[in-house]
Structure 1
Amino acid sequence: MPHDWLAFAKSLRAIAQTGQTYTDNKYELERYRQLEALTNQMFAVLGDVPIEKIEQLIIPDKGYATPKVDVRGAVFDEAGRVLLVREIKDGRWTLPGGWADVNESPSEGVLKEIFEESGHRASSPRLAMLKDRSLHPYAYYSPDHIYKLFYVCTHEGGAFVPNNETDAADFFARDALPPLSEGRTLTVDIHECWAFAASNAPGIYSD
């Protein structure tokens, strides 16, 4: 059975972060900082990328190490097409979304992300599913442990507004999806949101 070196590196990074938070010994603090630097080197080797890129990817964090939360919104028009946005970074399409913010519920956050990235307004977010990113085949690895929350929302209208993250927004039919930014959204994510929307399930309370 192959070893999951990425999971090992994530665990070591969590130990280093938590250790820096709770130790009051300056020698232990230095060792935890060294461990953190070593885990960055491990991520660079595992991803075959320069360590500088790893350091840019890692979200600065302090305190007890916990997973990050990514919220994504599936908005469907009257024809049943899904709203996608095109990422400037890779030129591919994804469900609008991003990191959950402090002092904001996930459902509030997803509505904000939809508007900021697409220019379209949405309402009535229903939590369709929660995924542990590490257990699914997203295109690139992340040094962070991430939970992905997918919401199905009601379309309230709007039009694309230029912004610094996306350069287009459009609706797509189920059998005509564009090339996806698979580090953010997989085809199966969209299909599962479609199925949830069709079921008229009430969703899971998430505030």
Structure 2
Amino acid sequence: MNSDDQFIKWATDLQSLAQAGLHYGHDVFDRERYEKIRKIAGEMMAARTGLPKEQIKTLFLGDEGYQTPKIDTRAAIFKDNKILLVREKMTQEWSLPGGWNDYDQTTAQNCVKEAYEEAGRVVRPVKIIAVQDRNHHNKPILATNITKVFYLCKEISGEFKPNDETDACDYFALDNLPKLSLGRNTEEQITMCFAANNDPNWQTQFES
């Protein structure tokens, strides 16, 4: 772990301890101490990442209760041994269709929803490829822990239309991938999806 990652880990640990203390603590003076620790953790994160204070407040300090990971789903959709990727409008980088899991959706339902919203594809999830801790695989390291769920999906129908999030969609061979959005998916993760698609006996990967 490099120095930047370690610094962010310390800030994240402080924030998590402070958040738990605010949730479970009842003593008014202890709560004041936890609020101060949480504020310091936010200032540490802002200083190291350069993110605006409002964004730090929303992403890093906006949760309540016991801190748990957020969930991100990704749809691996294949045709002729090529994988479907969408281009993010803001960054012009490519990723598997996916995003945050809505509070009222199962991970499979959310995968279907994101595939339709970002790629215009109606799909059916057929297999969980992997469940991963984002910070073990993707950069940059984020303050909020994220669990990524990759689904192998069967394409049923659909056609891409530009939308608020993505402005292009295409199928790519593994040896001809475009510039990837590494925070969303790496070449290693795309390679894993190809392996799952080509292996009828694929077993879901997860971290122990």
**Larger displacement relative to structure 2 (181-190 or 30-39):** 30-39
Shift of 1:50: 4.1
Partner residue in 2 for 1:151? 151
In the alignment, what sits opposite 1:89? 90
Q: Does 1:61 align with 2:79?
A: no
Distance 1:158 1:68, change over 3 A: same
How far apart are the structure 2 equivalents of 1:5 and 1:184? 22
Deviations 1:38-59 (A, max 9, x none): 1111112222444344334437
Query: Using the alignment, how far apart are the partners of 1:135 and 1:121 within structure 2?
Result: 30
Name 2:136's counterpart in structure 1: 135
Which residues in structure 2 correspond to 1:1-207 (within 5 Å)? 4-58=6-60, 60-77=62-79, 79-136=80-137, 138-201=138-201
TM value normalised by structure 2: 0.88
Contact 1:128 1:151 in 2 (8 A): yes
Displacement of 1:112 after TM fit?
Answer: 0.9
Aligned residue for 2:116, secondary structure, equals helix
What is the rounded CA distance, in whole Å, between the counterparts of 1:183 and 1:2 in structure 2?
A: 18
Q: Distance in 2 between matches of 1:111 and 1:99?
A: 12
Alpha-carbon distance in structure 2 between the residues aligned to 1:61 and 1:203? 34
In structure 1, C-alpha distance between the alignment counterparts of 2:29 and 2:167, rounded to whole Å: 49
Q: How many residues align?
A: 202
Asked whether the 8 Å contact 2:38–2:61 carries over to 1, the reply is no
TM-superposed CA distance for 1:163, in Å, is: 2.1
Structure 2 unaligned runs (5+)? none
Conservation of the 8 A alpha-carbon contact between 2:76 and 2:193: yes
3-state DSSP of counterpart to 1:36: helix
State how far apart, in whole Å, the 2-side matches of 1:91 and 1:177 are.
14
Task: Sort the Cα spacing of 1:125 and 1:19 in 2 relative to 1 into closer, same or farther, 3 A.
Answer: farther
C-alpha distance in 1, partners of 2:57/2:64?
Answer: 15
Alignment TM-score, normalising by the size of structure 1: 0.89
CA contact (8 A) 1:100 1:109 kept: yes
> Quick one: percent identity of the two aligned structures?
36
Q: Deviations over 1:13-50 (max 9, x none)?
A: 11111111122222222222221111111112222444
Shift of 1:95: 0.6
Whole-Å separation in 2 of the counterparts to 1:123 and 1:13: 38
Greater shift in the superposed pair: 153-162 or 190-199: 153-162
- Per-residue deviation, 1:188: 0.8
**Conserved? CA contact 1:67–1:145, under 8 Å:** yes
Q: CA RMSD in A?
A: 2.0
